[in-house]
Amino acid sequence: MKATGLKRRVLLQGGSIALMLGVHQIARGASILAVRVWPAADYTRVTIESDARLNSQQLVVGSPPRLAVDIEGIDLNTELRDLVGKIKPGDPFINGLRIGQNAPKVVRIVFDLKQTVRPQVFSLAPVAAYKHRLVLDLYPEQAIDPMEALIAERLRDAPKNGSSTSAPSNGPAVASAPPAAPSPGPAPVRPAMPPVDPLGDLMAQQAMRPGPSTPAPALPPGGMPLPMPPAPPPVVAAAPPARPVTPPGPPPRATASRTDRIIIVALDPGHGGEDPGAIGPNGTREKDIVLQVAHRLRDRINAASVNGSPMRAFLTRDADFFVPLGVRVQKARRVQADLFVSIHADAFTTPAARGASVFALSQSGASSSAARWLANKENDADKVGGVNVGTHEAQVQRALLDMSTTAQINDSLKLGGAMLGEIKGIGARLHKAQVEQAGFAVLKAPDIPSVLVETAFISNPEEEANLRRADYQENLADALMRGIQRYFAQNPPLARSRQL
C-alpha cells in the first residue's frame, strides 16, 4: 500500500512539473531565428523569422514619421539586435531604428522613417526552408507609378543620347538595329484621334504641371518629377513676310511635352528578396543570375530601335526584392509593354537535367508533364516570397489572370520560337526543341505577347558554372535580343502616335 501511495505521489508531482513546464514554455514564447531587410524603391520589407507564430501591434507616429512595433511573447536576443546593423544608408524609407525590451516578454522596435509610409504587417506560415515569419512591408504613401518612372528615365536619357535612335559605341553589334531609310517627306498627320496611349497622356500631364524654369537638381525620395524642357528662343514681334521651306530632318528627340514612338519590352527577372528561386550545387541563387542577365539585356534593348523607333526596357524589379506574380503583370500592362519576357534558371531533383527552354501560356493544359510541374513550381513563388493575402491584390490577380486571349498566345509562341532559335545559335543545349506551354501565372497578360525563358538548369553543375560566367551571360543576352528583333521584323509593333 505504501508503495502504491508513493507511486501516486510521484506521478502527481511529475504532472505538476510538466504542467509548470508547459506554462513556462508558453510564457517563454517564440525564439527569433533570423532577421532580414530588403530595401527597394517600391517598398522596404523587414522579415523576422521565428520558431513559432509572433503576435504584434504597430502604431504610426508622425512629425517626424516613425513606426513603433511591439512584438509579444519574446525576449530581446542577439538576432533581434542585429536588425540595427542591417539598415543601410540608401534605404528609401528607413533612416534607422531602435530596439529594446519594452516590457516583460514584449520587444519594441521603433523605425525612424525618411518619409510617411503605409505599413502592412502580416504573418506567413512555414514554407520551403522558412519557419514562421512576421513581415513588415513599408510602402510609400504615394505608390510609385511604373509609367511615370519609365517616362522620367526616358527623358533623362534623351539629352545624353542626342537623338532617340543613337547607340553607344561600346555596345555589341546586336545591340542596335540598322537605322531606317530616310523618307522622302514628313508623314501626314491624321486629324482623327490617335489610339489610347497612356504613356503619351501621362507625359502631356507632366508637361502641363507648373514648375520652375530649370530642372530640379535631385529627385525627392517619394516623387518622380520630370525635367522641364529648355526655354524657347525669343519670339520676334513682327512676322516675316515669307519663310523658306525647310527640308525634313531627323525626327525630334523626346522632351517633356513630346515623345517619339517607344517600343517597350518588359523584362521580368524571376523571384527576388525572400524568394531565392532555385539554388545550384555551389550555392548560386537563381534570383541573382536572372537579374544580371536582365540588366545585360536591358542595355541592349535601350540601345536598339525598330524601324527608327527607339526601344526601352522596363524591369519589373531592378534590385533584390520580391514582386508578387500578379503585380509583375500589372506593371507590364501599366507601361503598355509591347512584349513581356520573364527570365528564370530551371532546377530539377537530379543534376543530370540540362538545357534551356522557352514557355508560353496554355489555356487548355500543359504541353508536357514537365511543363506542368515547372508551372506549378513557379506559380508557388508567392508563397515563398510572401504575399499579404489580406490585401486587394489577390482579387485583382484572379480577375486579371483569366483574361488571356488566343491571339496573345499565338504571338507568344512566335516570340518564343524566335528566341529558342537564337539560344540554340550560341551553342547552348536545348531541353526541348520547341516552345512548351503551361499555365504560368506570370504570362497571363491578356494584351501582351509573353514568354518565360528558362536559361539553363542551375541544378546542373556544368550549367551552373556557365550561368556564373560573364561571357556566357553576354552571349545569352545577345541571343535573347536577336530573338526579340527577329520577332519584330516579322511582326511589326502597332503604330502609336506619341506627338503631344
Res. 401: pLDDT tops 60 = no
pLDDT digits (tens, 9 = 90+) for 187-240: 333 333 444 444 545 545 554 554 443 333 333 333 333 333 344 444 333 444
Whether residue 34 has pLDDT greater than 90: yes
Confidence of residue 129 (pLDDT cuts 50, 70, 90): very high
Question: Rounded to an integer, what distance in angstroms lies between the CA atom of residue 252 and that of residue 368?
Answer: 49
- Which triple of cell numbers denotes residue 242? 515669307
What's the pLDDT at 410? 93
**Residue found by looking up cell 521584323 in the block:** 489
Identify whether the C-beta of residue 155 lies closer than 8 Å to the C-beta of residue 256: yes
pLDDT of residue 393: 54
pLDDT of residue 152: 81
In the chain, the amino acid numbered 487 is Y
Q: What is the mean pLDDT of residues 71-94?
A: 95
Q: For 159, left (φ over 0), alpha (ψ -120 to 50), or beta? A: alpha
Distances (CA, A) of 94 to 45, 86, 291, 323, 400: 10, 11, 24, 20, 33
Among 404, 266, 407, which Cα is nearest to 335's?
266
* Collapsed DSSP state (helix, strand, coil) of residue 142: coil
Sole residue written with cell 542591417: 86
Question: Quick one: pLDDT band at residue 156, thresholds 50, 70, 90?
Answer: confident
CA distance 264 to 252: 19
Positive or negative: CA dihedral 291, 294, 299, 302: negative
Q: Characterise 291 by phi-psi region: left (phi > 0), alpha (psi -120 to 50), beta (else).
A: alpha
> What is residue 235's predicted lDDT score, i.e. its pLDDT?
39
Report pLDDT digits (tens) over 416-475.
999 999 999 998 999 988 999 988 889 988 889 999 999 999 999 999 999 999 999 999
**Mean pLDDT, residues 8-29 taken together:** 44
Backbone angles phi, psi at 257, to 5 degrees: -115, 5
pLDDT single digits (tens) 277-319:
999 999 999 999 999 999 999 999 999 999 889 999 999 999 9
At 400, the amino acid letter reads L
Look at 24 and 442; give whichever has higher pLDDT: 442
More confident residue, 202 or 118: 118
pLDDT of residue 366: 73
